[in-house]
Amino acid sequence: MIHRDPHPSNVLFDRGRLTGFIDFELVTHGLRLFDVCYCGSAILVTGFRDVEKARKWFGLFHALLCGYQEHQALTVWERACIYEMLVAIQVIFLAYWLTQDNVAEAVHIGELLAWLKEHKGILESLELG
């Protein structure tokens, strides 16, 4: 089972420590990697155009992956598909915005997809220990 909507607003913290998750209405069977990449994508989508925020995102996303790995080890196959999962999530959003006739958001996601492609090498080289 995966949460399916683990963006930062659905994650609870107390004094900097993860204490829980909320909003389980989308829970489903799915690939575990989806949740980790979805959370990372939710953080990236608002800041990828800002060079400093984007630079910091790599460290944050790496820490997110390592934290997940520490508690629920990702398989070799899952670790090899991080980039592809990030892209797949954005394609889902692109399709959603197009069905809503929201061209501005669709263009934004298209730009994010181009950004991901530009940084594919970095994403594929992330070491999780």
pLDDT in tens, 39-88: 999 999 999 999 999 999 999 999 999 999 998 899 999 999 999 999 99
Tell me the domain boundaries of the chain.
8-124
Structure tokens at 20: 């829980």
Predicted local confidence at residue 8, as pLDDT: 84
Output the pTM of the full model.
0.90
Using alpha carbons only, what angle is made at residue 60 by residues 113 and 32, rounded to the nearest 5 degrees? 70
Q: Is 82 helix (H, G, I), strand (E, B) or coil?
A: helix
The answer to whether the beta carbons of residues 12 and 23 sit under 8 Å apart is no
Structure tokens at 23: 């909003």
pLDDT (tens digit per residue) in 13-45 = 899 887 888 888 888 898 999 999 999 999 999
| Cβ atoms < 10 Å from Cβ of 95 | 12
